[in-house]
Amino acid sequence: MPETPTRRECANAIRVLAMDAVEAAKSGHPGAPMGLADIAEVLWNDVMRFAPHDPGWIDRDRFVLSNGHASMLLYSVLHLTGYDLSIDELKNFRQLGSKTPGHPEFGHAPGVETTTGPLGQGFANAVGMALSEKLLAETFNRDGHEIIDHRTFVIAGDGCLMEGVSHEAASFAGTAGLGKLVCIYDDNNISIDGEVGPWFTENVAKRFDAYGWQVIEDVDGHDADAVRDAVAAADAETSRPTLICCRTQIGFGSPNKAGTAATHGAPLGDAEVAATREALQWPWAAFEVPEAVKTAWNQRARGERLASEWQRRFDAYARDYPELARELTRRMNGDLPEGWNAGLSALAKDAQRALAPLETRKALTKSLDAVVDHVPELIGGSADLSGSNGTKFSTARALHIAAPDDGVANYIHWGVREFGMTAITNGMCLHGGLRPFSGTFLVFMEYARNAVRLASLMRLPNILVYTHDSVALGEDGPTHQPVEQLTNLRTTPNMNVWRPCDLVETCVAVEQAIAQDGPTALILTRQKTQAQERSAGAFEAIARGGYVLVEEVDTLDVVVIATGSEVEVAVAAAHEASMQGIGVRVVSMPSTSAFDGQPQAYRDEVLPPSAKARVAVEAAHPDYWHRYVGLEGEVVGIETFGVSAPGGIALETMGITWEAVVAAINRVSS
């Protein structure tokens, strides 16, 4: 091989590494990395600005591999360009404890910006990253100081562009005018079942054109110059996102399997690997990359240059705008400002004195009003239910609605796009610098479900507001009345779930959500709830997720656990039971996830192991509560779909009444 390898030779390094790693793992997806290798070579060697020695450099271009099954493309490139990802990690592709899991996972290999694999969501994450870049640039850049100025690149395959979430996100990105977002479409005409003709025929280019994107069609994805020219055209367009449609051949280089679905998700096999090596004129052994190719790929020196050049510009910015520079650094580090929660604490104290009934969704608005000005990185939104969700705080400046003079947007009308909204806000969390919260009805969490799961898998500090949290929402009926969703959220690993009962608990829930570095679901009522009286001790204990709210008599006969709007039901039942001579303790449990994280001693104090007579009440599926009430306990819940009727009647019909709780108390105590 000559001193300077050709571009094709550099790209072939990706092809063989991908093919070899899949062979070694005896599983994986060689086809897409082989098909995309020429494009990746152009992106990493010519186009993107990044710093392998400093993967967290805040002004790096972001890259998302939305077709996450092509993970070996990303791992190969990260290895070759000089990220801290050794060849041994590539040899350990898909093995336990490696940095190279089957699909790219955030937090494993440096340079992996998000977890992808569930098709289409990476695309939406990229939209979120580009949106964050735009909003942060508007907030922090000053004349002559373009301190935030990076692009977001995403590669998406046929699968990603078939998935509905990419349609939602593409539509939003066009509307939002994300000029620094570039999507490269791997148009290889193949998905798992074969040539896509029978199931994917629409004109993708026309669709994106209709979304308001610049579309560059018919690019030969194996022609480096053509790809580079297309990216240059994308760069030149500043007000629209760009889709570059690249025709590629899946499994490029494999003499007998290229262009077929056989390369999609299985090792090529020894014979075909050998034949491919031959066809690519790549005589080197598995995982061996010749020095000249390594040198051509290594981007460490360029990355150091780019990052230090940016650092010089940032230092100048910090001299001219020291406060802005400090603020940007704080926000990108994910630190909260000094005293950020003072307003919330004051509101909670006032509310504890005032004891006014209120919908907990309206309690959310009050809580937000008490905190948003102190935490400027908060950015709200709703999927077309702003008024219903209570997400729109009084100083909200809505994207594309607020006058430019009002300042940078801190509120987004997401339109009716729950999945897109959630996957996009995941991308915003990944980008850093903004803290999104967004709302819909609890029942429509399911539309967004897999993005909720990925927020949890990645432990992103995404705040998910879900209102109209039970059959008590009333007349909209069973299609809108959640039953099984709370259990679903609570059994999602890493998810923090809060279902506060009144304004005081809502203040605490919002505070905990903001303080978290993982995801939180805030579950709120449509209807008014009573404000609960509390001792000073109970007030302090709310943050622990579960605490003794009411102790009716001296003897502890029965513990009743309740959340949200059913706390008042439990309190009424406890009162009645005490008249009957049964000693009842009411435990308010706004957050099982927070409560479960408390020391055993505290949990035993609230739910004494000896107190086996227990009742839980929640207007939702009962099963989750058996872990708190045990086999001897009872749960007053809802096991069927709801009914179309006014909220009070719906609750009564579904058996969520204080009388039902009293009956259960009597049964468990007898």
Say how far apart CA 395 and CA 376 lie, in whole Å: 11
Pair 110, 55: CB distance under 8 Å: yes
Q: 158 or 502: whose CB is closer to ligand TPP?
A: 158
Comparing CA positions, the residue from 372, 408, 402, 376 lying closest to residue 390 is 372
DSSP for 256-310, written as a single string: TTTTSGGGTSS---HHHHHHHHHHTT--SPTT---HHHHHHH--HHHHHHHHHHH
Question: Is 418 a catalytic site residue?
Answer: yes
Site string for Mg ion, 131-160 (x = CB under 5 A): --------------------------xx--
Phi, psi at 453, each rounded to 5°: -65, -45
Minimum distance of ligand TPP from residue 399's CB (angstroms): 28
Q: Which does 41 bind (CB under 5 to 8 A by kind): Mg ion, ligand TPP, none?
A: none
Under the criterion CB under 6 A, does residue 159 sit at the interface with ligand TPP?
yes
Q: Which stretch binds ligand TPP (CB under 6 A): 151-159, 207-215, 544-552, 628-636?
A: 151-159
Within 13 Å and on the Cβ side, how many CA atoms surround 118?
A: 19
Q: Which of residues 580-599 bind Mg ion (CB under 5 A)?
A: none
Q: 67 or 132: whose CB is closer to ligand TPP?
A: 67
Say how far apart CA 438 and CA 466 lie, in whole Å: 9
Minimum distance of ligand TPP from residue 17's CB (angstroms): 17
Comparing CA positions, the residue from 44, 59, 56, 53 lying closest to residue 7 is 44
Under the criterion CB under 6 A, does residue 32 sit at the interface with ligand TPP?
yes
Under the criterion CB under 6 A, does residue 67 sit at the interface with ligand TPP?
yes
Under the criterion CB under 6 A, does residue 124 sit at the interface with ligand TPP?
no
Counting residues that bind ligand TPP (by CB under 6 A) gives: 19
Say how far apart CA 584 and CA 617 lie, in whole Å: 14
385, with CB counted inside 10 A (0-12, 13-18, 19+), is: buried
State the pairing for strand pair 181-187/152-157: parallel
Query: Which amino acid is residue 484, in one-letter code?
Result: E
Under the criterion CB under 6 A, does residue 264 sit at the interface with ligand TPP?
yes
Minimum distance of Mg ion from residue 523's CB (angstroms): 39
Under the criterion CB under 6 A, does residue 268 sit at the interface with ligand TPP?
no
Q: Which stretch binds ligand TPP (CB under 6 A): 43-51, 156-164, 493-501, 610-618?
A: 156-164
Minimum distance of Mg ion from residue 187's CB (angstroms): 8
Q: 32 or 245: whose CB is closer to ligand TPP?
A: 32
Q: Strands across the sheet with 496-498, in order? A: 411-413, 378-382, 435-441, 463-467, 520-523, 496-498
Minimum distance of ligand TPP from residue 454's CB (angstroms): 11
Q: 39 or 504: whose CB is closer to Mg ion?
A: 39
Q: 192 or 274: whose CB is closer to ligand TPP?
A: 192
Q: Which of 5, 31, 179, 381 binds ligand TPP (CB under 6 A)?
A: 31
- Residue number of the CB closest to ligand TPP reads 157
The sign one gets for the Cα dihedral 41, 42, 46, 48 is negative
Q: 261 or 483: whose CB is closer to Mg ion?
A: 261
Q: Which of residues 177-196 bind ligand TPP (CB under 6 A)?
A: 186, 188, 190-192
Under the criterion CB under 5 A, does residue 190 sit at the interface with Mg ion?
yes
Say how far apart CA 625 and CA 622 lie, in whole Å: 6
Under the criterion CB under 6 A, does residue 276 sit at the interface with ligand TPP?
no
Q: Which tokens hold the place of 268?
A: 């090529």
Q: Which stretch binds Mg ion (CB under 5 A): 81-89, 181-189, 501-509, 550-558?
A: 181-189
Under the criterion CB under 6 A, does residue 157 sit at the interface with ligand TPP?
yes
Under the criterion CB under 6 A, does residue 168 sit at the interface with ligand TPP?
no
Q: 61 or 158: whose CB is closer to Mg ion?
A: 158
Catalytic residue among 9, 133, 418, 552: 418
Largest CA distance in the chain: 93
Under the criterion CB under 6 A, does residue 382 sit at the interface with ligand TPP?
no
Pair 113, 121: CB distance under 8 Å: no
Q: Which of 45, 76, 132, 188 binds Mg ion (CB under 5 A)?
A: 188
Minimum distance of ligand TPP from residue 341's CB (angstroms): 38
Q: Which of 118, 303, 474, 642 binds ligand TPP (CB under 6 A)?
A: 118
Say how far apart CA 372 and CA 369 lie, in whole Å: 6
Query: Which own/partner contact pairs does 479-483 have at CB distance under 8 Å and 24+ positions apart?
Result: 479/443, 480/441, 480/443, 481/443, 481/641, 481/642, 481/643, 481/650, 482/441, 482/442, 482/443, 482/445, 482/620, 483/620, 483/621, 483/638, 483/639, 483/640, 483/641, 483/642
Say how far apart CA 218 and CA 525 lie, in whole Å: 51
Minimum distance of ligand TPP from residue 233's CB (angstroms): 24
Residues that bind ligand TPP (CB under 6 A): 31-32, 67, 69, 117-119, 157-160, 163, 186, 188, 190-192, 250, 264
Which amino acids are annotated catalytic? 418
